[in-house]
Amino acid sequence: MPGPDLLSSQGLRLDGRRPNELRRIKCKLGVFTQPDGSAYLEQGNTKVLAAVYGPHQAAKSKSSTDGVVVNCQYSTATFSTGERKNRPRGDRKSQEMSMHLRQALTAAIKTELYPRSQIDIYVEVLQADGGAYCAGVNAATLALIDAGIPLRAYACACSASMAWRAGQPEPLLDVGHVEEAAGGVVLTVAALPNTGSIALLEMSHRLHMDYFDVVLSRAMQGCRDIEIILDRAVRDHLAEGWTKQDIVTI
Amino acid sequence: MPLDYRRFNGPEDSVSYKRFTKDYLKSYSELYNNLIDEKGRRKDGRALEEARSMCMFFARTDMVSQAKGSAYIELKKTKAVCSVFDPREIPHQNEFSQLGQLFCEVKFAPFSCPNQRRTHAPDADEKALSVALRQALEPTVCRHLFPNYQIDVFVYILENDGSCLAAAINAAGLALANAAVPMYDIITACSVAVIGEKMFVDPTEAEEHLAMMTPEKEGTNHGIITMSMLSELKQVSDFTQIGSMDTDCVTKAIEILEKECENIVPNIQKVLVLNVVQCIEQRKQLEEEAKEREQALNAKMEEWKQLLNSG
Amino acid sequence: MAGLLLSETEKVFILHGVQDDYRSDGRSNIDYRPMELETDVVSHASGSARLRLANTDILVGVKTEIDVPKPDKPDSGRIEFFVDCSANATPEFEGRGGEQLASSISNLMQRAYHSSQAFNLKQLCIFEGKQCWKLYIDILILECGGNLCDAVSLAVKAALFNTRIPFVKAALMDGGNVDLQLSDDPYDSKLLDVGSAPLLVTLCKIGENCVVDPSAEEESCSVISLIVGVTGNRQYYTQEEETDKKTMEGKCTTIAMHGPGSVAPKTLKEAINQGIIAAKSLDEALGQALLRERQENIGFKKHSYGFLK
């Protein structure tokens, strides 16, 4: 099955990455003051903002005695894509993404700690260049940590695709927009790498059963890599916070 | 965008035939000369600073029988109907609001505008007018008297020949008074179109159109100002300006509009007083009729009593 | 805004501060809060800017599309404002909650840019009567900390200043169709003349005085605010010395009132004058900042911060 030509003869991808390489991730916690927690994350050219409000009293209709209600909204800025979008949210795609976000993040949050409460998570995609959902999950995790909400583990999301090099299958990590548009398979995984569990798995296009494991393990590897990056960002942020506070007290 | 299946809509890319007429292709200066003659009189014979309210103002209340209060205003060709409904609980609201709310909606009749047909769905223009109307009315209504309730104000513009916002505000003020909504003051509004040095008070549609167009000479003032006032309290409740003009021009326009708004007050008062007088007369008449009926009844009773007694 | 609760005494405190021309954050009544501005932050847009005015955060992206001009203005382009209130700002904006605020701001901007003396749409013309550029100005409100209108207008002007429109060669083919040829070189583009684009100044009436740049707390103390749109001065946006004195003075392009209160005519006049003065200094500062950034961009000295700062 000859897939689209995503790898060069040297084994490099269209944007010059190696197959198992992530795009550069830059992130910052606490970009806003009004939300309880916020984070900004750049994954290559994909830029995402996330804000968290809560936990606060849940709306009557949603309230549940078992655990906290996680309310997610995924919206894309009208100028984020190459072609202008007419609506930032409310369309089918955004609604689906909101649902997926909720699924991934509910798995990470210790929901049983806050019965009859609600946590609002808003993700705003400022620039979409492939993998906006993954960046959204990663940013939301950081925002949740910034808000001080207890998590089971980091929720990390990563995508993977499949390419062929010299007749050998070669899974690609962290799919960019060009690779997405080329029409290959895209497997999106949201996982809690620390516990080894998968929170959400979604795949588009078709993939032979035999190769599924290879692609999945590549995506999981990506999630683990991302976790390390996020963890470092959180530690740096906290360290910075401590030093700043020290200066104030002196 | 959901399609409107209930009404028959014209093809989307159709244009008005008026685009191809001679009138449409007139240049700026031609249009300008059309508006005003050598003697400085406007097309309809008014002087520049003469509002239509002075000569061709017609207003009445009790237009719509279903509404609590209603009014109809006619400024020559600009015609607007307003109806005000009883306060009702604010729908879809959980929190208690200390002050009552006003819900305003301005709607153009499909046939109201000379150039284009108005669609059924509210367009940006109508929404902007609705917001301006609410802004103008809010300071005049004693909103603290009906907390957690809203009053609906609907304005329907039957014909638009300029100054429709001013007409809408005037009509809404009358209708609110007619509905016996407590108010601080009578609200009046007027607009002025600025073209260069000239100020057209209470402009017609053609004058407004020209005022919004780009003047030929760079840097000349143009635009439209609408102001609504509570004359007795000397307060401006809404002020909207669009176009481009310097401060002197704005200041001058404010003075003119202030005077003009005051001029409208007696007209509105007259209508309201007339309304009250009519009401009193009506009641008197009703009472008299009732009295007559009672007398007739009493006479009949007497008759029967006599019949009974005699029989 | 979000969960802002002020007690009666706090309001009185703010009111007294305004009376003594010394506001609670140390400003006088005519001072603005510190601002951060960066252009060219979104690569998918033709022009973009992010403005942070204390707690108010605005991101503006300008996208260009080719469209047919309006039949009554065949030689001008089109401009459309779209405001999106992100739920990041406050949970109240979730779903369709921010639509009312968004439409009122976009309406105000549309009106402010209506006059050709504010923004000349003729520069967007490609082929008269057939093709023109349409500018979509998408405004994303990420955080509300008071004084949205001013921040939006500043960010929009900066984004327009940053906007590049590709050169297009248009030729009329038979059958009335227009043939467009776009250059392959992305740098083969023109900048817009935005020097005269209007800035909005909000004057918030607190007690007997009007203050510029109200914070969210101050806004909640006021029943009425006046928004004045004032044209900018081209002089501040070019390096060349222009001697055209005629365009020096700022003109009002829109005036609107916002809030349930009312004002006396005298206050109105004073506030308009105050607004024009404020707009002038704001315009000058914006022009300087934008020119400086462009200079740095040419010399590749600029470091891009985005949201990572």
* C264-297 pLDDT, tens digit each: 999 999 999 999 999 999 999 999 999 988 888 8
Over 50: is that where the pLDDT of C223 sits?
yes
CA distance C73 to C122: 9
Query: What is the reported pLDDT for B91?
Result: 82
Which chain A residue is nearest to residue C62, measuring alpha carbons? A79
**Facing C273 at nearest CB: one of B225, B237, B247:** B247
Distance of CA C19 to the CA centre of its chain: 29
Q: Which residues of C touch B245 (CB under 8 A)?
A: 251-252
Q: What is the pLDDT averaged over residues B21-38?
A: 76
pTM of the model: 0.90
Task: State the Cα angle at A15 between A10 and A18, rounded to 5°.
Answer: 50
Cβ atoms of A112 and A67 within 8 Å: the answer is yes
Q: Which residues of C touch A240 (CB under 8 A)?
A: none
Q: Which residues of C touch B243 (CB under 8 A)?
A: 114-115, 253
As to burial, measured by CB atoms within 10 angstroms (0-12 exposed, 13-18 middle, 19+ buried), residue B65 is exposed
Of the pLDDT bands very low, low, confident and very high (cuts 50, 70, 90), residue C2 is very low
Q: What is the pLDDT averaged over residues B237-262?
A: 90
Bridging pattern class, strands C35-39 and C47-53: antiparallel
Residues A217, A221, A226, A232, CA torsion sign = positive
Picking from C52, C61, C223, the residue whose alpha carbon sits closest to that of residue C148 is: C52
Q: How many residues does chain A have?
A: 250
Q: Which domains does chain B have, with CATH numbers?
A: 24-310 (3.30.230.70)
Q: What is the pLDDT averaged over residues B126-135?
A: 90
* A91-116 pLDDT, tens digit each: 899 999 999 999 999 999 999 999 98
Query: What is the reported pLDDT for C3?
Result: 59
Query: What is the reported pLDDT for A199?
Result: 93
Asked if A31 and C307 come within 8 Å (Cβ–Cβ), the reply is: yes
CA distance B132 to C255: 12
Which chain C residue is nearest to residue B137, measuring alpha carbons? C260
Q: Looking at CA atoms only, how far is residue C183 from chain B in angstroms? A: 31
Q: Which of A79, A117, A121 to mutate to test the interface with C (most CBs of C within 10 A)?
A: A79
Cβ atoms of B195 and B32 within 8 Å: the answer is yes
Among the ranges given (B90-104, B173-187, C11-25, C275-289), the one the predictor scored with the smallest mean pLDDT: B90-104
Of the pLDDT bands very low, low, confident and very high (cuts 50, 70, 90), residue C184 is confident
List the CATH number of the domain containing A63. 3.30.230.70
List the domain range (segments joined by +) for residue A66. 25-249
Q: Looking at CA atoms only, how far is residue C149 from chain B in angstroms? A: 16
Which residues, listed in sequence order, are joined to residue C254 by a DSSP beta bridge?
A: B242, C229
Over 70: is that where the pLDDT of B135 sits?
yes
Q: Domain C8-298 belongs to what topology?
A: Ribosomal Protein S5; domain 2 (3.30.230)
**Facing B244 at nearest CB: one of C253, C258, C263:** C253
Over 80: is that where the pLDDT of B121 sits?
no
Residue A146 located in a structural domain? yes
Q: What is the ipTM of this complex?
A: 0.87
Which residues, listed in sequence order, are joined to residue B200 by a DSSP beta bridge?
A: B193
CA distance B265 to B59: 12
* C128-165 pLDDT, tens digit each: 888 899 999 999 999 988 899 999 999 999 999 999 89
Q: What single letter denotes the amino acid at residue C254?
A: T
Tell me how many domains chain A contains: 1
Distance of CA A61 to the CA centre of its chain: 29
CA distance B202 to B192: 5
Over 70: is that where the pLDDT of B3 sits?
no
Among the ranges given (B17-26, B296-305, C167-176), the one the predictor scored with the smallest mean pLDDT: B17-26
Cβ atoms of B290 and B282 within 8 Å: the answer is no
Residue A8 located in a structural domain? no
Query: What is the reported pLDDT for A1?
Result: 41
Over 70: is that where the pLDDT of C1 sits?
no
Over 70: is that where the pLDDT of B1 sits?
no
Among the ranges given (A140-149, B248-257, C90-99), the one the predictor scored with the smallest mean pLDDT: C90-99
The torsion angles phi and psi of C212, rounded to 5 degrees, stand at -95, 160
Asked if A90 and C95 come within 8 Å (Cβ–Cβ), the reply is: yes
**Facing B245 at nearest CB: one of C114, C251, C256:** C251
Over 90: is that where the pLDDT of C126 sits?
no
Asked if A120 and C65 come within 8 Å (Cβ–Cβ), the reply is: no
Asked if C84 and A34 come within 8 Å (Cβ–Cβ), the reply is: no
Over 90: is that where the pLDDT of B52 sits?
no
Q: What is the pLDDT averaged over residues B48-67?
A: 74
Contact of C87 with chain B, judged by CB distance below 8 Å, is answered with no
Over 50: is that where the pLDDT of B134 sits?
yes
**Facing C118 at nearest CB: one of B221, B244, B258:** B244
Asked if A28 and C307 come within 8 Å (Cβ–Cβ), the reply is: yes
C contact set with A (CB within 8 A)? 1-2, 42-45, 48, 55, 57, 59, 61-63, 65, 82, 84, 86-91, 94-96, 136, 138, 140, 142-145, 306-308
- Crossing angle of helices A209-249/A132-146, nearest 10°? 30
* A166-209 pLDDT, tens digit each: 788 889 999 989 888 887 889 999 999 999 899 999 998 888 89
Query: What is the reported pLDDT for B47?
Result: 79
Query: How far is the CA of A139 from the CAs of A71, A103, A193, B144, B157, in angstroms?
Result: 16, 15, 16, 46, 51
Q: What is the pLDDT averaged over residues B78-93?
A: 87
Between B300 and A65, the more confident residue is: B300
Residue A6 located in a structural domain? no
Residue A3 located in a structural domain? no
Between C63 and B44, the more confident residue is: C63
* A25-82 pLDDT, tens digit each: 999 998 888 899 999 999 999 999 999 998 988 887 778 888 899 999 999 999 998 8
Query: What is the reported pLDDT for C301?
Result: 64
Of the pLDDT bands very low, low, confident and very high (cuts 50, 70, 90), residue C82 is very high
Between C142 and C248, the more confident residue is: C142
Mean pLDDT over all residues of chain A?
A: 88
Which chain C residue is nearest to residue B256, measuring alpha carbons? C265
**Facing B236 at nearest CB: one of C103, C114, C262:** C262
Over 80: is that where the pLDDT of B56 sits?
no
Over 70: is that where the pLDDT of A223 sits?
yes
- Chains touching chain C, criterion 3+ CB pairs below 8 Å: A, B
Among the ranges given (A99-108, A221-230, C13-22, C229-238), the one the predictor scored with the smallest mean pLDDT: C229-238
Among the ranges given (B32-41, B174-183, B256-265, C92-101), the one the predictor scored with the smallest mean pLDDT: B32-41
Query: What is the reported pLDDT for B298?
Result: 95
Mean pLDDT over all residues of chain B?
A: 85
Q: Which of C62, C307, C309 to mutate to test the interface with A (most CBs of A within 10 A)?
A: C307
- Looking up tokens 């995402």, which residue turns up? A48
Give me the percent of chain A exceeding a pLDDT of 90.
Answer: 59
Mean pLDDT over all residues of chain C?
A: 87
Of the pLDDT bands very low, low, confident and very high (cuts 50, 70, 90), residue A247 is low
Q: What single letter denotes the amino acid at residue A212?
A: F
Query: What is the reported pLDDT for C241?
Result: 62
Picking from C240, C230, C210, C236, the residue whose alpha carbon sits closest to that of residue C222 is: C210
Picking from C19, C53, C50, the residue whose alpha carbon sits closest to that of residue C201 is: C53
